[in-house]
């Protein structure tokens, strides 16, 4: 949560901000009428390029926020008013019972003391849903080309969507996968900090990926390192989803780098009836080296244990996964 300021009232880092990431092209003033049209055109191009470069820069101002712990907040949703307090890190986690909301997206209004109200999107999952999608973000839907040792920093500091490139074909793969299951919930796993949520939401929208809640993490040092463990974050969130939605079987999508095969394989071994299928995006040679520091062979993709009855597919991109989707044997 940001600290109070005359021009920037309290805002929650996990909530969308209407002023985030908009490109505003400014008119170019010409002071000398004697300049040639060619020079003017070049200057216009330079000005526009400079503006876009500034927009693509690192959003450090939005990253460095002051956490306000134990702050009273009021939450309004479905005609209910709930009073709560932020935790020591400035976040709130509230369970609302008997809300009576229909499945789909809704809005909650959160008003912190001494701050302006903000809205939070709330997804109510269809009670009869039996299939869901859990997608990794880094190197699965977003091309990073970065070593894992600096990936957390990249996710935390580089906030603009035009600095992120989508993995080809993933939108098409997800569209086909969800076509027969319109009520299937979609969740995204990311090692990025909550402060980067607006940028990731823009990325998902701009690249026609299915909308869904993002399970991100808090940024900061821990007793064991500068950044929190991405592996533990993913394991915790996956198990939470298994517990919270006991009727749903999940399709897990990730990359075949160092961690996802083992994390997904572990979940599949623990809950084989809750995993409908696993799909891996195959990293290129350079990406493999960057993701784990050494080249690991194809056996890494088989980490989920070939003895499991859960179908597993892999391909270089979303188009390749789309070609193999029938092998998942989804209902």
pLDDT digits (tens, 9 = 90+) for 201-219: 988 999 999 999 999 987 6
pLDDT digits (tens, 9 = 90+) for 132-144: 999 999 889 988 7
- Of 17-31, 173-187, 220-234, 247-261, the range with the lowest mean pLDDT is 17-31
**pLDDT confidence band for 221 (50 / 70 / 90):** low
SS (HEC) of the chain: CCCCCCCCCCCCCCCCCCCCCCCCCCCCCCCCCCCCHHHHHHHHHHHHHHHHHHHCCCCHHHHCCCCCCCCEEEEEECCEEEEEECCCCCCCCCCCCCCCCCCEEEEEEEEECCCCCEEEEEEECCCCCCEEEEEECECCCEECCCCHHHHHHHHHHCCCHHHCEECCCHHHHHHHHHHCCCCCCEEEEEEEEHHHHHHHHHHHHHCCCCCCCEEEECCCCECCECCCCHHHHHHHHHHHHHHHCCCCEEEEEEECCCCHHHHHHHHHHHCHHHEEEEEEECCCHHHHHHHHCCCCCHHHHHCCCCCCCCCEEEECCHHHHHHCHHHHCCC
Residue 93: Cβ-neighbour burial (10 angstroms; 0-12, 13-18, 19+): exposed
Calculate what percentage of the chain has a pLDDT beyond 90.
48
285: β partners: none
How high is the pLDDT of residue 295?
A: 40
What rounded mean pLDDT belongs to the chain? 76
Which domains does the chain show, CATH number per domain? 1-124 (no CATH), 131-328 (3.40.50.1000)
pLDDT digits (tens, 9 = 90+) for 41-83: 555 555 555 554 444 444 555 556 677 899 999 999 999 999 9
Please give the model's pTM, rounded to 2 decimal places.
0.75
- Of 250-254, 262-266, 288-292, 327-331, the range with the lowest mean pLDDT is 288-292
* Maximum mean pLDDT: which of 13-17, 123-127, 155-159, 220-224: 123-127
Q: Is the pLDDT reported for residue 165 higher than 80?
A: yes
pLDDT digits (tens, 9 = 90+) for 27-41: 332 333 334 445 555
* Maximum mean pLDDT: which of 194-198, 227-231, 263-267: 263-267
How high is the pLDDT of residue 320?
A: 98
Decide which of 246 and 142 is more confident.
246
How high is the pLDDT of residue 154?
A: 55
Kindly state the average pLDDT of the residues 152-171.
69
């Amino acid at each position: 949560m940001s600290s109070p300021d005359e021009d920037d009232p309290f805002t929650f880092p996990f909530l969308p901000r209407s002023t985030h990431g908009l490109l505003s092209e400014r008119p170019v003033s010409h002071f000398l009428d004697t300049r040639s049209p060619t020079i003017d055109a070049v200057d216009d191009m330079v000005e526009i390029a400079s503006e876009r470069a500034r927009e693509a820069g690192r959003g450090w101002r939005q990253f460095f926020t002051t956490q306000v712990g134990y702050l009273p907040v009021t939450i309004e949703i479905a005609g209910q008013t709930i009073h709560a307090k932020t935790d020591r890190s400035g976040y709130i986690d509230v369970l609302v019972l008997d809300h009576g909301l229909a499945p789909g997206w809704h809005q909650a209004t959160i008003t912190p003391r001494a701050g302006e109200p903000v809205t939070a999107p709330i997804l109510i999952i269809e009670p009869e849903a039996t299939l869901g999608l859990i997608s990794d973000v880094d190197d699965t839907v977003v091309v990073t080309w970065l070593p894992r040792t600096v990936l957390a920093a990249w996710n935390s500091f580089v906030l603009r969507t035009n600095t992120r490139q989508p993995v080809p074909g993933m939108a098409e793969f997800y569209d086909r996968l969800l076509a027969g299951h319109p009520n299937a919930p979609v969740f995204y796993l990311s090692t990025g900090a909550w402060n980067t949520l607006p940028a990731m939401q823009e990325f998902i929208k701009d690249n026609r990926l299915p909308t869904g809640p993002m399970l991100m993490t808090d940024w900061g040092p821990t007793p064991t390192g500068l950044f929190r463990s991405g592996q533990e974050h993913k394991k915790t969130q996956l198990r939470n989803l298994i517990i919270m939605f006991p009727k749903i079987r999940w399709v897990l999508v990730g990359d075949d780098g160092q961690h996802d095969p083992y994390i997904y394989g572990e979940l599949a071994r623990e809950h084989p009836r809750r995993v409908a299928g696993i799909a891996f995006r195959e990293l290129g040679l350079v990406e493999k080296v960057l993701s784990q520091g050494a080249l690991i062979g194809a056996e890494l993709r088989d980490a989920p244990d070939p003895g499991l009855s859960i179908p597993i597919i892999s391909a270089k991109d979303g188009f390749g996964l789309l070609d193999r989707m029938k092998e998942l044997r989804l209902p």
